[in-house]
Amino acid sequence: MKYQARPVVEAIEFSGSALARLSPGVTEALSRSDLRGVIICPSNPYLSIDPILSIPGFRSLLGELSVPVIAVSPIIGGKAIKGPTEKIMNEMNLEAGCSSLSVADHYRDILDGFIIDTLDAGQADDIAALGLQVSVGETLMASLQIKQDLARHCITLIDKINP
């Protein structure tokens, strides 16, 4: 609250992450024979997802899984739904700015598929050029029905990648 998000973001580091370890439950879940896929939910890639991915060995573990790893973009029409995601992405001078393309590029070493909102459908070809299977649909979870539809959309994409 002291600075009210006024400092410009130049880089983000996770002090102490080198000392973190994956819980046995996570490692066990990712090695289950009945695992169909992994979904990275729409959240701030830098402040919510990256701290988890910075745990030693986790990012490489996801990249080596034999099941699809997909993500849902937290960006809709070049905007973040809430929080400082948009500010961070704009201040980090990402080539594609605050966009689903930037998020896909950020995760591309661990992803097989990426779901983007219909407002970002124009980015689908550029995201596919990163080597990802792209699917377009409604991602703003404004109702229970949309949440359920998005969950089904995720499962459909996983099954499409790994029939």
CA distance 101 to 120: 9
Establish if 79 belongs to a structural domain. yes
Establish if 145 belongs to a structural domain. yes
CA distance 156 to 36: 11
Tally the residues of the chain. Answer: 163
CA distance 153 to 72: 10
Cβ atoms of residues 88 and 95 within 8 Å: no
- Residue 84 is part of which domain span? 35-161
Establish if 24 belongs to a structural domain. no
**CB half-sphere exposure, 90, CA atoms < 13 A:** 10
Query: For position 93, what pLDDT does the model report?
Result: 74
Establish if 115 belongs to a structural domain. yes
Q: What is the pLDDT along the chain (163 residues), one digit of tens a residue?
A: 565 566 788 788 888 889 999 999 999 999 999 999 999 999 999 999 999 999 999 999 999 999 999 999 999 999 998 888 878 888 877 777 889 999 999 999 999 999 999 999 999 999 999 999 999 999 999 999 999 999 999 999 999 998 7
Query: CATH code at 145?
Result: 3.40.50.10680
Name the burial class of residue 157, with classes exposed (0-12), middle (13-18) and buried (19+) by CB atoms within 10 angstroms of its CB.
Answer: buried
Quote the number of domains for the chain.
Answer: 1
Query: For position 11, what pLDDT does the model report?
Result: 80
Alpha-carbon distances of 85 from 16, 19, 35, 81, 139, rounded to whole Å: 22, 26, 30, 9, 16
Query: For position 5, what pLDDT does the model report?
Result: 61
Query: For position 70, what pLDDT does the model report?
Result: 98
